[in-house]
Structure formats: C-alpha cells, structure tokens
Amino acid sequence: MIPQHPTTFDLTMNSSKNLCDKPEEACGVFGIYAPEQDVAKMTYFGLYALQHRGQESAGIATFEGPYVHQHKDMGLVSQVFSEAILEQLPGNMAVGHTRYSTTGSSRKVNAQPAVVDTRLGTLALAHNGNLVNTIQLREELLKTNLHLVTSTDSEMIAHAIAEEINTGAGWLDAATHAFHRCQGAFSLVIGTPDGIMGARDPHGIRPLVIGKLDSQPIRYVLASETCALDIIGAEYIRDVEPGELVWITETGLASLFWNPQPQRKLCIFEMIYFARPDSLMHNETLYSYRMRLGRTLAQESPIDADIVFGVPDSGIPAAIGFSQKSGIVYGEGLIKNRYVGRTFIQPTQSMREAGIKVKLNPLKDVLSGKRVVIIDDSIVRGTTSRKLVKALREAGAREVHMRISSPPVTHPCFYGIDTDTQDQLIAATKSVSEICTHLEVDTLAYLSWEGMLAATGEDTNGFCSACFTGDYPVAIPQQVKSSKLILEKANQYAVL
C-alpha cells in the first residue's frame, strides 16, 4: 500500500537551471530510524538543512509496519511540505531526498525517493551521485520486461535490488549484489519494512554520515552532511566508509563491507564549495578548510590592494584566510539578497542586461577609488564573474583583482555534478591570460592543484579532483564520455 498524497503544484521545467555560473550538486539524502519520534517532521528538518544540495524537488517516504506513506513534488522543501502533509506521513522510520537533476530531467516523476515493490515489501531509495554504467544497467533491467517509470539511474538501482530480492535474496544480500552491478558514485539511504540501509560506493565519492539521537535505546540517523544532524539535535558518530553498508534496525546499527577493497576518492569540490561550511569533514568544519585555501592562495599569488572580500556566501571563508595571510583589510564589498532563492519568474531582457544585482549588490562607498581583491571558490562558465567585475567597476573600484580558491575547472564531472560539456567550461577553452582578458580584471590567479590538496591535511590520494585534471577514478564508458568530454587543454594558474 503506497498512499500518494495530493500535490500543490507540478512544474515540469526549471527554466533557470542553466543560468547559474556554478556547478550544481545532485542531491541530499536523509534517513532516520526512531519509533519514538515524529520521523516525518525530523526528516523535513534534515532536508531543510540539506536544501543547498538540490532545489528542484523533495520527497519523504515513511514506513509504518508493512505500509509506506510518501509525498514528493517539485520545489523547495518548504514548498513541498506543510504541517498537514507531514501529519499524513506516520511511521517509525523515514527516508528523504532533495534533488537537483543530473541524470533524468527536472520533472515530478523523477523526484525521489524511488519507491519499488518487492517480494519482501516496499523499498524507498534516496540517491546522491551518478552512475556511469546507466546505459548498460538499463538494458539489463529492460531484458526482464521491467517497466521503468522514470529516467533516473536511482530508480535502476532500486529495481536492481528488487530483482535480487524477487529471486530469493534477503535485504542485505540483495543490496550487496545490486551494488556490484553499479559503477560510479552512489551514496544511498534505503528504507525497507525491516530497517534502513546506508551505503557508499567503493570510492566514497559522495559523502554520507551517521548520527545518533540522545535517546534510550539509541536511535540512528543517516545524512549527506553533519549539518542535517545538527538541526535535529543528533550527534555525529562517523562517516559511512567507502564500500560499506550499514543496517539500522530495532536492535541497533550493524555494518558490513560489501566491497572489501575500497579506495577513498571523496569529491574535493564537496570541501571547496558544495557542502555547507558548518558541516564536518575530516574532524573539522569546512569553514576551517576554506580559510586555509585562502591563506594558501595569498601565499601563492600575492597582490597589493586596499580591501579583500569574498563572493557571498561561498567565497567568504577563503577571503578571510586571504586577508589573514596577506594583511590586506577584509571587508564586505557585496551584499547578497538572501531571500532570492530559486525563482521561476525570469527577469525581462533589460533586467538581465543590468547584471546580477538581483542577487548581489556592490557597496559603492566601500569600493569607490579602491584597489579590490575579490575571492571566489571557482569559475565554471565565466558569465557571472564577468558581470560581477563590471558591477564592481561601475561602483567605482579603481582596480579589480580576482583570486580563485581552486584550480581551473577543465573537465566535466560524471559522478553527480552538473558541469555541462567540456566546451562550456571557460578554462577548457581559454588560457588563464585569456580568461583574465575576458573577465576584464586587472589580474587573475587560481589556487594550485597541489595547494588545494595540501590544505586538506589528509592523504592527497584520497580525493577525486577529476574536474581539474581529467583523471577519473572510475572509468567512464566511451559512449558516456563522448557526450561531455570534448576538449583537452592544459592551463597555468595565474596571470599577474
């Protein structure tokens, strides 16, 4: 029984999707086993904390014995759910998802969790990441006369598990066998009538953490980031390890390694940009790591200037670090409208030509006559950066120097980040000197690849940095690779 609650609206297109000059994350996942709690409401708040990971759709599935209740729709978490809807989602455990589409278009049918019936009952799967063998897996599943409802790889993972269950396997064996059929990036939270599973691919490309509630007996939570634990008062225990499957039931938390030879390759962009600065990775907040990026950037590419500031919000920690190392005064040169969020109403042509002031507005009295250093975490297409520089000059900045706290993005991602095809990446088609001219800045410098990895303080082999190097840790099938990987170009990091 899968009741489908009425929805508020159904937007089939996100017309603003490609206007952002940043790579977009695939999604955030959340799961909780807590019979004593209102699991739907706790999942709602968990997803609310993970909203930055995806703004197209959101969904929650709750388990009440053999019954599954679900609601999912297009829009932000606060738009998809209300008190009345959450009251219709009873149960002792829940799985939630907030989505940005990388595999599968932006339509309600592709919203998650993916819910599939099996011999042992219904499963609900929430997926962060992207498979690279989707074509092969789809062909294998279709040979069994399976009817796929969506165009997502997430539904295929769910059906691969169901297929194993329907031929006699139990939940854990079925999941393990299905995971071996999947290549690429996947951090999963899977709800079943008997418990909740959490799993990561053997490289751990996308994050997944475990938390516990202050309760007796101890109840457990799974989430993409620790900020989703904080919001509900859960304590971070540890990460789900690459190649690990955890099983949360009434008896507690159990663990097994479905892949005995994991090789950690956490996406470095999670640390640079995607994850919230207050989330923990490697036992520290990402705010601290991003400050170190700024200090390293100042050391590598010094400049004489009057003020340094970051592009809100992601560039601010690196700007503070840059200021600390360089001695240049830190200030605010841009004010962000934090209520813009995601809009389906597009500005007129004249408004678009006015630049990016809908979201960012320069402080003219701060900038007038000053030599400014603006820090950003990345440049992908260059469209926003160019408009931003123009706005700073119009506000009276005498010199504009740009510093980027990551290397040039020269290759597309195939593991759950939307970076377009290679020819859309400005650093893949232009040298740093050419980008500097295109953006109309006085100087431009990127952080070195070595400096970015050294700032982690961890084993530098434990990260995926393919978007900067083209060295993909999971082999990309040629049919998939050719769709995005168009160019090859080497770049230097600075033009001063």
Q: What is the pLDDT of residues 290-333, one digit of tens each?
A: 999 999 999 999 999 999 999 999 999 999 999 999 999 999 99
In a domain, 178, yes or no: yes
Q: Please check whether residues 261 and 353 belong to one and the same domain.
A: no
Cα 341 to Cα 51, 75, 77, 134: the distances in Å are 10, 11, 12, 32
Residue 495 lies in a domain: no
Q: Are residues 219 and 305 in the same domain?
A: no
Task: Indicate whether this model's pTM tops 0.85.
Answer: yes
Q: Can you give the CATH number for the domain in which 51 is found?
A: 3.60.20.10
Read off the pLDDT band of 344 (50, 70, 90): very low
Annotated binding site for Mg(2+): 314, 376-377
What's the confidence (pLDDT) of residue 4?
Answer: 39
Distance separating the N- and C-terminal Cα atoms of the chain: 64
Query: What is the C-alpha to C-alpha distance for residues 355 and 391, in angstroms, rounded to an integer?
Result: 7
Domain co-membership, 292 together with 240: no
Reading the block at residue 142, the tokens are 């279709």
- Structural domain harbouring 324: 285-337+348-458
Shared domain for 43 and 169, answered yes or no, is: yes
Reported as a single tens digit per residue, the pLDDT across 357-391 is 678 899 999 999 999 999 999 999 998 899 999 99
On whether residue 217 sits in a domain, the answer given is: yes
Looking up tokens 């297109």, which residue turns up?
13
Average pLDDT over the chain, rounded to an integer: 89
Looking at the fold, whether 214 and 330 belong to one and the same domain comes out as no
Q: Are residues 223 and 322 in the same domain?
A: no
Q: Where are the beta strands (DSSP E) in 385-454?
A: 399-404, 417-418, 443-446
**Does residue 3 belong to any structural domain of this protein?**
no
pLDDT at 235: 98
> Do residues 317 and 308 make contact, with C-beta atoms less than 8 angstroms apart?
no
| 220 plus 311 within the same structural domain | no
Which tens digits make up the pLDDT trace of 75-90? 999 999 999 999 999 9
Choose, from 20, 27, 227, 436, the residue flagged as catalytic.
27
What are the structure tokens assigned to 117, written together? 């019936």
Specify binding-site residues. 267, 314, 376-377, 413, 464, 467
Do 259 and 290 lie in a common domain? no
Q: Binding site residues for [4Fe-4S] cluster, as ranges?
A: 267, 413, 464, 467
In this structure, the answer to whether residues 246 and 376 fall within a common structural domain is: no
Of 234, 265, 296, the position where a domain reaches its end is 265
278 found inside a domain: no
Number of domain units in the chain: 2
The full DSSP string for 14-75 is -TTGGG-SS-EE-EEEEEEE-TTS-HHHHHHHHHHHTGGG--SEEEEEEEETTEEEEEEEES
Question: How many angstroms separate the CA atoms of 465 and 408, rounded?
Answer: 11
Catalytic (active site) residue 182: no
Question: Is 101 inside a domain boundary?
Answer: yes
pLDDT band at 418 (very low <50, low <70, confident <90, very high): confident
465 lies in some domain:
no
CATH at 442: 3.40.50.2020
In a domain, 492, yes or no: no
Q: Are residues 210 and 316 in the same domain?
A: no
